[in-house]
Structure 1
């Protein structure tokens, strides 16, 4: 089955959110006092270019690597994953973590 065409507005939103995530990751790396190469080594990457791609918003961290990145940056893995989820999957984040108003409607 062919994939539906990507909505240009949605694509722009995804790009902007990935760039915001990249800026957040870069700030976390810099706060930890590491270069891209040092972070890449700590998380077991062969090349630092993946760190560069993620920080520029061209890529995203796979879920299975997020705990290693959090640990390398000295951050709580749960908070790290929640922050990335807010950028990478905003609707899922809303469903999981912004349920107070939704629960109030469901029980009313």
Structure 2
């Protein structure tokens, strides 16, 4: 069965949220005093360009790597994953955390 066409407004929102996630990750990396290459090495990536892609919003962190990224950045893994969930899966975030979304977005 073919997949339904993506709603252009939804696609634009996804792109915007990924870009926001990327800016947040970049700020956290810079605050940790790491270059993209250093972060890539610490999380076991072969190429630092993946870090660049994620920071520019072209990619997203797989769930199975989020703990390593949190550790490399000196962040608590649960809060790190929760922040990424807000960007990557906003509807799931809303279902799980309800009213926290507005508070988190105001802080982010």
Fold match (TM-score > 0.5): yes
RMSD of aligned residue pairs (Cα, Å): 1.0
- Partners of 1:28 and 1:44 lie apart in 2 by 18
Cα distance in 1 for partners of 2:98, 2:38 equals 35
Structure 1 residues without counterparts, runs of 5 or longer = 101-108
What corresponds to 2:69 in structure 1? 69
Quote the offset at 1:70 in angstroms. 0.0
Dislocated runs of 4+, deviation >2 Å: none
Aligned equivalents of 1:73, 1:83: Cα separation in 2: 14
Question: In the aligned structure 2, how far is the partner of 1:31 from the partner of 1:72?
Answer: 12
The residue aligned with 2:27 is 27
Number of matched pairs:
100
Q: TM-score, normalised by structure 1?
A: 0.91
Match of 1:82 in 2: 82
- State the distance in 2 between where 1:74 and 1:98 align: 27
Structure 1 residue 74: deviation in Å? 0.1
Aligned-partner Cα distance in 1 for 2:10–2:80: 24
Structure 1 CA distance for aligned equivalents of residues 42 and 34 of structure 2: 10
TM-score (norm 2): 0.91
User: Which has more radius of gyration?
Assistant: 1
Rounded Cα–Cα distance in structure 1 between residues aligned with 2:11 and 2:55: 18
Q: How far 1:98 sits from its partner (Å)? A: 1.1
